[in-house]
Structure 1
Amino acid sequence: MSATINPHPAPVQTPSPVVTPAPPKRSKWLFFVIFALVAGGCWTGYKYFLQPKADPASSASAVGGPVQVRSAKVGSGPIDRTLRLSGVTAAKDFAAMLAPMMRGPDAGRALVLIDLAKSGTLVKKGQLAAEIDAQSIQDHLDDVKAQVIQADADIRKRKAEQATATEDMRQNIRNAKADWDKAKLDAGASEIRTPVDAEILKLASEEFEAAYNQLASDMKNREIADRAEIRILEITKERQVRHQGRHDADVVKFTMRAPIDGLVVMESIFRGGEMAQIQLGDQVAPGQPFMKIVNPARMQMEATTNQVDSEEMRIGQAVNLQFDAFPGLSLPGKVQSLGALGVGGWRQNYYIRSVAVRVAILGSDPRLIPDLSTSGDIVLEHKDNAVLLPLASVFSKDGKEQVFVKRGEKWEPREVKLGLRNGTHGAVLSGVDAGDEVALENPTPKPAVVASN
């Protein structure tokens, strides 16, 4: 079988080339929009931030319109020059209630308040103000009383024992005296005795005499020793009696009554990481103040001032007092005392000296209690029927003071002289009269501001 070969093979189809589309061209109008936005932002920034603003008064003057100026009327009345003080209220008459200082030798016991008058209440003299738990002291006092009784019994017992021993010794002395007397009688018959017997009787008499003398001497020493022993027991009893007396005094002090009529004000202590008022169940230390009973009818303000201001202050100057807690409350007062020396502060304020000032509050009010933040204006100078000019209307020119007085539609500059001043007004010596209208701002047109490139 023969194979036939095709001399012309079938053509192979080749893939056609992929044509990539050309990127679209950006529109020209988008460029113009961006340019317009940038130009508008630059113009707005220049208009509102960089371009100087013309004064409204100058603009009004430039167009011939009226100038709007704030103004006020010159008044009349009294004027005071005052000095401001800041401080707190305090009672002039008060009684401090302190935890008792115990006299007992074991004075380290806890003092716990079990009864306490409420803060802000009025109490009468002799009324119960506070009471401290005395149960532990009372228990200890019962033990001390028992020790006193035991010490007294020990003395009586020892005296009885000494009396018995003394009587026994006296009986021995009497026996020794009888033996000595018998020996002397026996020795008196030595003439009828042999020399040996006479010598024996003599020696026996001397022996009984020595025994008697020894017992008599021991009796004296025994009496001295007995008295010393009884004195030791008596001292022990006295010590216990004094111990009992001290605790009796302590127990009495645990019940505290008001020494004067007044208002109860509690002190503050550090409790639970913050300051808080004393309350029932708190533990106080001996000698710690925990309450004040104040007379609200006699109050004062305690404040400090710097050394410069203190030079103008005098005792007896009038003071007008205001209270931060009660904005509508105002009471009169007067300077009662001034510190003789300046007192330094702490740390960085050590070199700043302050002078203590006390101001007596002449009036009274039921709301007035201690520790209220208070301000007071001390009247340094006073003048009645003065022409009062607002200091806001006074302008300085060439070292002189002037005001602008309204005359028709114009403002007329006028030189003035002022005397007494306070923080807002000044007493006019010359220049304006009561009733004149003065400008509170300079009405003179300012030169127009030219914007620079």
Structure 2
Amino acid sequence: MAFWSCSHSRAAAPAEPEKFAPVAAAAPAQGRRIRTTGTVEALRSFTISVPRISGQQQGNLTLTKLALNGTKVQPGDIIAEFDHTSQIKSARDAEAKFDDLSHQVEQKAAEHQSNAAKRAADLAQAEADLGKARLEIRKGPVLSELEHLKADEVLKNAELHVASLKISIPAHERAEAAELQVLKLQAERQKLTLMRLQGDADKLVLRATIPGMIALQNVWRNNSMGHAQEGDQLWPGNPLLRIFDPSSMLLQLAVSETDGAILRPGAKAVVHLDAYPSLTFSAHFDSASPVASSALGSPLKTFTARFILEQNDPHLLPDLSAAADVDPGN
């Protein structure tokens, strides 16, 4: 029986695989609309962070002044200030030390000039004495032997004195030049320290860089997230606020990968703000990410699309959630 079962299985013909007709991908139908969600953002914005102070190892900065949320500003307007008492005190001390070193350089230069003039006078006097000694030695035939020996000794001493001065004067000049250069380098280094401290004090006064409106950012304060307030201790580098131009706003949408074909030039969108359900705005397609992406651990992929809002309304503010009905157009 076992032999018959095996031979029967080998004799059976293999079944042919089933054939399936290819199915073409369905194109989006004309007039088909999709609804998706996103957030309102400014087309032009600039983020202001808590400044970083050079040379600061650790610690935070105390906020002493902050513009109100929604304030309209122009370039150069002060929008925030931090406590800069320490920087101003250090800058004043550095300035006093720099002035002292500058006076030392001037005093040392004047002293070296006086010493150079004195050495030049000593050399001139030594050369005059040498010339006088040479004249005396020429009187040898009329001088006694003792006087001749004295004149010869005076001549030798004069020659040695002149030679010694000619060797020592350049050495003194090099030493004084090096001493003066050391003081100049110390003054220059102190000047750089002063400039750094003054720059640190200027960094603690934040000014607007573009015209627009202020939107305060959420920061970590008092064991919770919220807008910064005067007197808060803030860590350098943390975002403090954002300046945006309210005259040009856009809508950032997340469109599913299956609806990506609707994102094309000419696409329109009807926008509804969640915070103001009665308001409706229109927008047109501007751009989209070339590749769909997904969040970590999620199998759903979406395209990031940007639609430019066509109206200018004070209700359009950054980070507002919105729903949009997207129409592919013609």
Fold similarity call, TM over 0.5: yes
RMSD: 2.8
Could you say which structure has the greater relative contact order, defined with CA pairs below 8 angstroms and 6 or more residues apart?
2
Q: Partner of 2:33: helix, strand, or coil? A: strand
- How far apart in 1 are the matches of 2:66 and 2:205? 10
Equivalence for 1:380 = 328
Give the direction of change, closer, same or farther, for the CA distance of 1:108–1:139 in structure 2 (3 Å limit): farther
Contact preservation (8 Å) 2:75, 2:207:
yes
| 1:360 paired to 2:311 | no
- The share of aligned pairs that are identical, in percent, is 24
User: CA separation of 1:315/1:274 partners in 2, compared to 1, >3 Å: closer, same or farther?
Assistant: farther
Query: Which of 258, 263, 273 does residue 308 from structure 1 map onto?
Result: 258
Residue 81 of structure 1 aligns to a residue whose secondary structure is coil
Distance in 1, matches of 2:45 and 2:222, equals 29
Which residue number corresponds to residue 338 of structure 1? 288
**Offset at 1:223?**
1.7
Structure-1 residue corresponding to 2:46: 95
Q: Output one character per residue of 1:254-303: Cα deviation in whole Å (capped at 9) or x when no partner.
A: 33333344221011112333321222222334443311122222111123
Pairs within 5 Å for 1:220-369 = 220-343=170-293, 345-346=295-296, 348-349=297-298, 353-369=301-317
Task: State how far apart, in whole Å, the 2-side matches of 1:159 and 1:126 are.
Answer: 44
The answer on whether the counterparts of 1:113 and 1:281 sit within 8 Å (CA) in structure 2 is yes
Instruction: Please give the alpha-carbon distance, in whole angstroms, between the structure 1 residues aligned to 2:190 and 2:108.
Output: 18
The residue matched to 1:259 in structure 2 has which SS? coil
Change (3 A) 1:336 1:179: same
The Cα shift of 1:134 comes to 1.6
CA deviation after TM superposition for structure 1 residue 379, in Å: 0.6
Distance 1:117 1:200 in 2: 93
Which ranges of structure 2 fall in alignment gaps of 5 or more residues? 1-29
Label 1:195 to 1:343 Cα distance change in 2 as closer, same or farther (>3 A).
farther
Kindly tell me: are residues 206 and 106 of structure 1, through their superposed partners in 2, closer, same or farther at Cα, counting changes over 3 Å?
Answer: farther
Out of 283-292 and 330-339, give the one that drifted further: 283-292
Partner of residue 173, structure 1: 123
Secondary structure of 1:143 counterpart: helix
For 1:19-34, list aligned pairs within 5 A. Answer: none
Separation of aligned partners in 1, 2:80 and 2:222 = 23
Residues 321 and 332, structure 1, Cα contact 8 Å, conserved in 2? yes
Going from structure 1 to structure 2, the CA distance change for 1:358 and 1:264 (only over 3 Å counts) comes to: same
Q: For 1:342 and 1:209, locate their aligned partners in 2 and report how far apart those are by CA, in whole Å.
A: 96
The amino acid of 2:32's aligned partner reads R
1:210 corresponds to which letter in structure 2? L
> Aligned to 1:311, what secondary structure does the other structure show?
helix
Give 1:371 shift.
Answer: 0.6
Residue 205, structure 1, aligned to residue 155, structure 2: yes
CA distance in 2, matches of 1:323, 1:183: 109
Aligned in 2, Cα 1:195/1:109: closer, same or farther, shift over 3 Å?
farther
The corresponding residue for 2:106 is 156
Secondary structure of the residue aligned to 1:251 is helix
How many angstroms does 1:151 deviate by?
A: 0.8
Give the counterpart of 2:70 among 109, 116, 120.
120
Contact 2:286–2:308 (Cα < 8 Å) also in 1: yes
For 1:336 and 1:147, locate their aligned partners in 2 and report how far apart those are by CA, in whole Å.
59
User: Aligned in 2, Cα 1:184/1:82: closer, same or farther, shift over 3 Å?
Assistant: same
Inter-partner Cα distance in structure 1 for 2:133 and 2:264? 107
**Alpha carbons of 1:184 and 1:106: their partners in 2 closer, same or farther (altered >3 Å)?**
farther
Q: TM-score, normalised by structure 1?
A: 0.59
Q: TM-score, normalised by structure 2?
A: 0.79
- Distance of 2:203 and 2:123 partners within structure 1: 58
* Partner Cα separation in structure 2 for residue 242 and residue 199 of structure 1: 64
Q: 1:178 to 1:105 in 2, by over 3 A?
A: farther
Q: Secondary structure at the match of 1:328?
A: coil
